[in-house]
Structure 1
Amino acid sequence: MRLIVETLACRRSGRRIFAGLSFAVGPSEGLMVTGRNGAGKSSLLAMLAGRLKPDAGSIRAEDIGEATLPECLHVVGHRDGLKSALTAAENLEFARDLLGSPAASPKEALEAMGLPHVARLPVGYLSAGQRRRVALARLLVCRRPLWLLDEPTAALDLASQGVLAGLMRRHRAEGGLVVAATHQALGLEDARELRIGPALSTAAPEKALESEDWL
């Protein structure tokens, strides 16, 4: 698939956050969205996921057949989105049954994240880093081409960050797309960077982006 964003603008609580944002991401490509807190990184991902309506502009996907864009993406946000009373395996089974397009089994996904020993534990008993890895394991149980990741390395130790980097490389090698909002390197050395400027109050819309040389 190919993701195309044209002249996108975001307004929150009556305040313009960014405007004039255009980019495209194709098969096997990665895009790192950077910028200081409040610049609109999470808002951009929410728009791509269909959870937030743009103030202006358009978002579309090509080469997805009869599917809709939300049916072609995974989202891992600030909140892990796990049910604390369910075990790690049950959370992944729920995601697989809900999202469809099954790929790796819950057991295989947990093994890939270095968590085979927590499969039968309620996630409410897990550490923050373990919960994060269970949330990331959802990327593996269902096959979807576009990964939207919001600070995916939060709470991860260096070893787990390396595992995540390997998963993203493999996903892209298979033709997948990765768009990640981040404050730090993700091990995607060849990914393009989209730096969104500071949150705006009086600046003109054309100054919303600090840099456009990635286009």
Structure 2
Amino acid sequence: MQLKTQGLACGRGDAVLAADLSLKVAAGSALLLRGPNGAGKSTLLLTLAGLLHPISGNVVFEGADPEAGPFIHHCGHKNAVRPRLSVIQTLKFWADINGHGDVTPATALDRVGLGRTARLDAGYLSAGQQRRLVLARLLVSPRPVWLLDEPSAALDAAGRDLLAALLADHLRSGGLAVVATHDDIALPGAATLTLGARA
């Protein structure tokens, strides 16, 4: 699969935040989006995910088969955690919505370091733990395209290492990723696109 855009402009309302973007992200590779707040990183991810219409240009995922089911994971900067559901219930809920893969919720929680919190109400998790829970969502419902908005927010050094490892595994398996981040993510070979702030 390959993500391609041609002459893409995106924004909110009449405000153009990023324009004339011609991108190519092939299977097994990643693109890091950088730039100040308000530069359009989140808006670009929403546009790539099909959640916002482009102002102009187009977005194509070559090789995708929509009839085979959803193929994009979009994880926004908010964690969308229901505080009164347990951690394991939260992950099972997401898997029921997004589809189940070979990795069980319990295994995914162990992978992201949350195995011991499985029965705890998700509202008691720290901000960093909630972010790890979002990463577990990527594991229980495998999809080839990851569009991640500030996935390292609130993560400590160990959490950022975990994120880098999960991304590396995803790319090695033939997935692709576009990641908006202010942090340095250890992902050798990733291309970088810096968006400029616009008034």
TM, length-normalised to structure 1: 0.88
Alignment of 1:134 onto 2:133: yes
Aligned to 1:206: none
User: Structure 2: how far apart are the matches of 1:48 and 1:86?
Assistant: 30
Q: Partner of 2:78: helix, strand, or coil?
A: coil
Alignment of 1:171 onto 2:139: no
Counterpart of 1:40 in structure 2: which amino acid?
G
Aligned to 1:143: 142
The answer to whether the 8 A contact 1:3-1:61 is kept is: yes
Aligned to 2:6: 6
Unpaired runs of 5+ residues, structure 1, are 202-215
Matches within 5 A, 1:149-164: 149-164=148-163
The answer to whether the 8 A contact 1:161-1:186 is kept is: yes
CA RMSD of aligned residues (A): 1.4
The answer to whether the 8 A contact 2:171-2:177 is kept is: yes
Unpaired runs of 5+ residues, structure 2, are none
Q: Partner of 1:144: helix, strand, or coil?
A: coil
Counterpart of 2:102 in structure 1: which amino acid?
A
Aligned to 1:47: 47
Query: How many residues matched?
Result: 199
The answer to whether the 8 A contact 1:6-1:20 is kept is: yes
Q: Which moved more, 1:91-100 or 1:151-160?
A: 91-100
Q: Partner of 1:109: helix, strand, or coil?
A: helix
Aligned to 2:79: 80
Q: CA deviation at 1:103?
A: 2.8
TM, length-normalised to structure 2: 0.95
Q: Which moved more, 1:172-181 or 1:93-102?
A: 93-102
User: Structure 1: how far apart are the matches of 2:46 and 2:181?
Assistant: 14
Q: CA deviation at 1:13?
A: 3.9
The answer to whether the 8 A contact 2:74-2:146 is kept is: yes
Q: Partner of 1:18: helix, strand, or coil?
A: strand
Q: Which has the larger radius of gyration?
A: 1
Structure 1 ranges of 4+ moved more than 4 A = none
User: Structure 2: how far apart are the matches of 1:109 and 1:31?
Assistant: 25
User: Structure 1: how far apart are the matches of 2:26 and 2:36?
Assistant: 26
Alignment of 1:67 onto 2:70: no
User: Structure 2: how far apart are the matches of 1:110 and 1:153?
Assistant: 17
User: Structure 2: how far apart are the matches of 1:195 and 1:18?
Assistant: 10
Alignment of 1:57 onto 2:52: no
Q: Partner of 1:10: helix, strand, or coil?
A: strand
User: Cα gap change, 1:190/1:131 in structure 2, threshold over 3 Å: closer, same or farther?
Assistant: same
User: Cα gap change, 1:66/1:147 in structure 2, threshold over 3 Å: closer, same or farther?
Assistant: closer
Matches within 5 A, 1:15-34: 15-34=15-34
Counterpart of 2:154 in structure 1: which amino acid?
A
User: Structure 2: how far apart are the matches of 1:142 and 1:16?
Assistant: 33
Q: CA deviation at 1:101?
A: 4.3
User: Structure 1: how far apart are the matches of 2:162 and 2:187?
Assistant: 12
Aligned to 2:186: 187
User: Structure 2: how far apart are the matches of 1:11 and 1:30?
Assistant: 22
